[in-house]
Amino acid sequence: MDIITIEDLEVCYHIGVPDEERVHPQRLLISVKMETDFTLAAAGDDLSHTINYYAVSQRLLSLGQGRTWKLLETLAVDISELVLREFGARRVHVEIKKFIIPEARHVSVQIVRPQ
């Protein structure tokens, strides 16, 4: 499989377990690796036969509008399902970084989902 990667896309979503934490959007970094087959896209130099990474990034930037999550794990599953369903990836790797513990560079979750 071939891979398209969006690394550390910066978004601001309402996320956190305590209600107070979800009041204001928090900065997150999202990385998505999308497995697909480049054969047809490369042969015809045709975007319609691959995953449009710009469209994926725009979808993720708008995903948090009007939504909240308690867990990073839930958000990671939502993102993986969205990429599989809407963009046709065969397999997706999602990592989300959150900057909530002052003594740590970040906290992150990672998941891998097949289609």
| pLDDT beyond 80 at 115 | no
| Cα diameter, the chain | 52
**Separation of alpha carbons 34 and 16, rounded Å:** 26
**pLDDT tens digits for 29-66?**
999 999 999 999 999 999 999 999 999 999 999 999 99
Query: Regarding beta strands 2-15 and 91-98, do their DSSP bridges make them parallel or antiparallel, or are they unpaired?
Result: unpaired
CATH level 3 topology of 2-114: GTP Cyclohydrolase I, domain 2 (3.30.1130)
